[in-house]
């Protein structure tokens, strides 16, 4: 009896299925490689880097152009170390000027500014702790508003600090400040 075409196809079909499956897997791997490598863009000209140092107020993001600390050293009978953080930026011809008055508690004879979290308090706390005595915003040298709530977080050491502030002003508008870098420190202690 001669083998029929149907019986030969039954014998060969498992081998054909395996060969076809291998071809499909190779084709899938090749297609996946092409798709994944062709998706990356080499064009970086259109990418705008994020502004790292900014004041955000009233829907505007203002890049910070000047960072100064006025160093008042020990105040209130050396209970607190006082830093006035002055950050300035300009956008559309308007100068934004912020002042953050930070008081860090002095421990023992170590009269230095200590970074930390400074919460806004309208009056000094009963025992020494980090606090934000005041925060003000001026637009083109005209007083805009002062803080009524929020906090400032400071890390690092002189003259390089990271400052992050999220405040609510008396005019009920929010202000966010982010600055990381070097400050020009101005000694304000009386002679």
Clarify whether residues 23 and 81 are in a common domain: no
> Which are the contacts of 54, defined by CB distance < 8 A and separation ≥ 6?
61, 62, 63, 64, 89, 176, 177, 178, 179
For the stretch 148-157, pLDDT in tens is 999 999 999 9
Contact (CB, 8 A) for 85 and 163: yes
Helices then strands, counting H and E runs in the chain, come out as 1, 10
Of 56 and 4, the one with more pLDDT = 56
At 165 the pLDDT is 97
Please report whether residue 2 resides in a domain.
no
Both tokens assigned to 119: 């919460």
pLDDT of residue 125: 83
What's the domain range around 19?
Answer: 8-36
| CB neighbour list of residue 140: distance below 8 Å, 6 or more residues apart | 94, 95
Q: Which pTM does this prediction carry?
A: 0.72
pLDDT digits (tens, 9 = 90+) for 15-74: 555 565 555 555 555 555 545 555 555 555 555 555 589 999 999 999 999 999 999 988
CA-CA distance, 78 to 25, in Å (whole number)? Answer: 76
Q: Check whether residue 14 and residue 103 sit in a common domain.
A: no
Residue-level pLDDT at 22: 59
Mark whether 93 and 125 lie in a shared domain: yes
Please indicate, yes or no, whether residues 68 and 25 belong to a single structural domain of this protein: no
Q: Let me know if residue 46 belongs to a domain.
A: no
Q: In 3D, which of 43, 66, 47 has the Cα closest to residue 55?
A: 66
> How does pLDDT run across 166-176, given as a tens digit for each residue?
999 999 999 99
Q: Is residue 48 part of a domain?
A: no
Q: Are residues 125 and 178 in the same domain?
A: yes
Question: Do 77 and 127 share a domain, yes or no?
Answer: yes
Query: C-alpha distances in angstroms, 118 versus 81, 85, 94, 106?
Result: 13, 12, 28, 14
Between residues 165 and 21, which one has the greater pLDDT?
Answer: 165
User: Does residue 2 have a pLDDT over 60?
Assistant: no
- Identify the pLDDT of residue 107: 83
Q: Are 104 and 174 members of one domain? A: yes
Tell me, what's the pLDDT at 184?
A: 97
Q: In this structure, are 16 and 98 located in the same domain?
A: no
pLDDT in tens, 81-113: 999 999 999 999 999 999 999 999 988 888 889
- Would you state the pLDDT for residue 85? 97
Residue-level pLDDT at 3: 54
Query: How many domains does the chain contain in total?
Result: 2
Ramachandran region of residue 66, left (φ > 0), alpha (ψ -120 to 50) or beta? Answer: beta
Mean pLDDT of 125-137: 90
Residues 69, 147, single domain; the answer is yes
114 and 32 within one domain: no
């Amino acid at each position: 009896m001669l083998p029929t075409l149907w019986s030969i196809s039954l014998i060969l079909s498992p081998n054909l299925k395996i060969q076809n499956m291998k071809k499909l897997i190779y084709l899938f791997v090749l297609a996946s490689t092409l798709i994944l490598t062709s998706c990356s863009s080499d064009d970086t000209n259109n990418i705008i880097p994020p502004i790292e140092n900014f004041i955000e107020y009233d829907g505007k993001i203002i890049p910070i152009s000047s960072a100064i600390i006025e160093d008042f050293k020990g105040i209130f009978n050396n209970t607190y170390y006082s830093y006035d953080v002055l950050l300035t930026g300009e956008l559309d011809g308007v100068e934004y000027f912020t002042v953050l008055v930070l008081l860090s508690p002095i421990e023992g004879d170590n009269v230095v500014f200590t970074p930390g979290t400074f919460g806004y308090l309208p009056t000094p706390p009963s025992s020494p702790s980090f606090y934000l005595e005041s925060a003000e915003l001026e637009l083109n040298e005209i007083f805009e508003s002062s803080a009524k709530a929020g906090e400032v977080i400071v890390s690092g050491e002189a003259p390089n600090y990271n400052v992050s502030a999220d405040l609510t002003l008396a005019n009920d508008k929010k202000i966010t400040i982010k600055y990381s870098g070097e400050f020009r420190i101005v000694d304000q202690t009386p002679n």
